[in-house]
Amino acid sequence: MNLFEKKALELDQKDSLAHFKNRFVNDSNLIYLDGNSLGKLPKATIAASASLLENQWGNRLIRSWNEEWIDLSNVISKKIAKLVGAQPDEIFVGDTTSLNLYKLVYAALEFGKGKEKIITDALNFPSDLYVLEGLVNQHFKKHQIEIVGDSNDVLIENEAINKQLDLNTALLTLSLVTYKSSFMYNMKEINELAHAKNSLVLWDLSHAVGAVPIDLNKSNADLAVGCTYKYLNGGPGAPAFLYVKKSLQEKLRNPIWSWFSHEKPFDFNLNYQPGEGIHKFAVSTPSILSLAPVDQGVSVVLDAGMENLRIKSVAQSSFLLALIEEELIPLGFKIASPLESEKRGSHIAIQHSEGYRINQAMIQPKVGAKIIIPDFRPPNNIRLGIAPLYITYMDLYEAVQRIKNIVEFKEYEKYSKKKALVT
Ligand SMILES: *Cc1c(COP(=O)(O)O)cnc(C)c1O
């Protein structure tokens, strides 16, 4: 038995979180390394969603609004608040990440009127950049967007951000963990740098929440948004969340005036009067069918404990990096993630000139091998996501052996270079 294989067996036996895998729907012929894009389905969600459909919608119909649904967003928001170190009334779950980002960027720019600089980085999620571009194009025409770094960079130094910050900066917005390289900023340090220049900071937590410990209050964070269908296992397109620091809530306005942000939506007044607190950042009737599963998804993470999950994620990442060094670097792969664990989230990107076709061979093996699902991000990154709730050390060992085989036997040559619509 290979040394790494032996080690994988040992580490799995010692893993105190191993039983959490049973709380998800698993397929023994599949190694799923894409929990950073779409988390697995918790078994508890199946029963809860069936009951939601049959009992709450089917039988109780509109009575369910008062019985169950109107408070659902609050219940889940409180759980997310626990996970990200916020007060229960600083989190709102609903709408989508991009929409929440739009609302908060707009609010921050309006608040920082007179200042005309927006800073972000080239590692940020493109949709986030599009939101900024759109707002500058449509509403804040004098604002300038400064993009720090290059999209192929693995990491950005604090100093590179600091250099751009000045008293004309209305907003700095970054992903805490970047989607491609998995680089993780030090949130507290960045907040301090920005606050020294009187600028607000908006964090996108999508690739961080459920993957790394976050303490918004202790880091003195102003604003944040985040996704629930990645490491929070909320299901495809599940509603996102937003965070507004208590002291900013009365100073900021939601740019989308609608009934769910109204002070009294069910008075049906003809004029708009914004509500108070975090709820004034809502827009519409909550999407109950996709919101409800977020409850079970977040609960599994809370049950395991974010600190415990981080310890396992770091240990698994080190194991995977050692395997990559040993088996894949000699085959032409490069590591495209930071090597220090404190600068990294919970996925590891590797690059190969045949990255796309290798990725295809992993997902659709033609040789009876196990299916391995990572994902691909251009130009040639294969992202290996480590969701410590359900990934085993043996999964990582087998995945690397499989990649090695695909390259050694040039199995990828059987695949087309043409890209699928969703990668
Ligand atoms: C996944 C992700 C999103 C998703 O945005 P949606 O509007 O929910 O589609 C946004 N930002 C980041 C950083 C992400 O990783």
- Average model confidence (pLDDT) for the chain? 97
pTM of the shown model: 0.97
Sort 126 into a burial class: Cβ within 10 Å, 0-12 / 13-18 / 19+.
exposed
Q: What is the pLDDT of residue 326?
A: 97
* Closest ligand 1 atom, residue 175 Cα: 13
Name beta bridge partners: 201: 172
* Closest ligand 1 atom, residue 128 Cα: 11
Sort 298 into a burial class: Cβ within 10 Å, 0-12 / 13-18 / 19+.
buried
Ligand 1 neighbour 375 (Cβ under 6 A)? no
Q: Could you tell me the pLDDT band of residue 366, with boundaries at 50, 70 and 90?
A: confident
Q: Could you tell me the pLDDT band of residue 137, with boundaries at 50, 70 and 90?
A: very high
The residue among 346, 304, 307, 311 whose CA lies nearest residue 11 is 311
Ligand 1 neighbour 98 (Cβ under 6 A)? yes
Q: What is the spatial order of strands in the sheet that 144-148 belongs to? A: 91-93, 241-244, 223-226, 200-204, 169-175, 117-121, 144-148
Residue closest via CA to ligand 1's atom 4 equals 97
Q: What is the pLDDT of residue 224?
A: 99
Helix, strand, or coil (residue 408): helix
Mean pLDDT of 123-143: 98
Q: What is the DSSP letter of 212?
A: S
The residue among 42, 96, 76 whose CA lies nearest residue 237 is 96
Q: What is the pLDDT of residue 417?
A: 84
Quick check: 423 pLDDT over 80?
no
Report whether 82 contacts 110 (CB < 8 A). no
Ligand 1 neighbour 240 (Cβ under 6 A)? yes
Q: What is the DSSP letter of 369?
A: P
Ligand 1 center to residue 98 CA distance, Å?
A: 6
In one-letter notation, the amino acid at residue 373 is: I
pLDDT over 70, % of the chain: 100
Ligand 1 center to residue 2 CA distance, Å?
A: 39
Ligand 1 neighbour 206 (Cβ under 6 A)? yes
- Distance, CA of 172 to CA of 115 (rounded, Å): 12
Give the number of other Cβ atoms within 10 Å of residue 222's Cβ: 24
Match 């010692």 to its residue by tokens: 14
Quick check: 254 pLDDT over 90?
yes
Ligand 1 center to residue 95 CA distance, Å?
A: 12
- Distance, CA of 318 to CA of 321 (rounded, Å): 5
Residue closest via CA to ligand 1's atom 10 equals 97
The predicted-structure confidence for 185-196, as pLDDT tens digits, reads as follows 999 999 999 999
Domains of the chain: 3-32+305-414 (3.90.1150.10), 47-303 (3.40.640.10)
The residue among 391, 325, 387, 327 whose CA lies nearest residue 337 is 325
Helix, strand, or coil (residue 322): helix
Mean pLDDT of 100-109: 98
Helix, strand, or coil (residue 318): helix
Residue closest via CA to ligand 1's atom 2 equals 206
**Catalytic residues, which ones?**
125, 204, 229-230, 383
Quick check: 197 pLDDT over 80?
yes
- Distance, CA of 255 to CA of 268 (rounded, Å): 20
Ligand 1 center to residue 227 CA distance, Å?
A: 6
Ligand 1 neighbour 346 (Cβ under 6 A)? no
Ligand 1 neighbour 97 (Cβ under 6 A)? yes
E-assigned strand segments in 259-380: 334-335, 347-351, 371-373, 375-377
Ligand 1 neighbour 395 (Cβ under 6 A)? no
Quick check: 259 pLDDT over 90?
yes
Q: What is the pLDDT of residue 378?
A: 87
The residue among 322, 333, 307, 328 whose CA lies nearest residue 388 is 307
The distance of Cα 84 from the centroid of its chain, to the nearest Å, equals 12
For 146, the token pair is 């400064």
* Closest ligand 1 atom, residue 125 Cα: 13
For 3, the token pair is 């040394």
The predicted-structure confidence for 296-338, as pLDDT tens digits, reads as follows 999 999 999 999 999 999 999 999 999 999 999 999 999 999 9
Quick check: 380 pLDDT over 80?
yes
Mean pLDDT of 241-270: 96
* Closest ligand 1 atom, residue 240 Cα: 8
Ligand 1 pocket mutation pick from 36, 38, 98 by most atoms within 8 angstroms of CB: 98
pLDDT over 90, % of the chain: 96
The predicted-structure confidence for 273-286, as pLDDT tens digits, reads as follows 999 999 999 999 99
Three-state helix/strand/coil letters over 131-178: HHHHHHHHCCCCCEEEEECCCCCCCCCHHHHHHHCCCCEEEEEEECEC
Q: What is the pLDDT of residue 422?
A: 78
Residue closest via CA to ligand 1's atom 5 equals 97
Ligand 1 neighbour 290 (Cβ under 6 A)? no
E-assigned strand segments in 237-360: 241-244, 334-335, 347-351
Helix, strand, or coil (residue 291): helix
Ligand 1 neighbour 179 (Cβ under 6 A)? yes
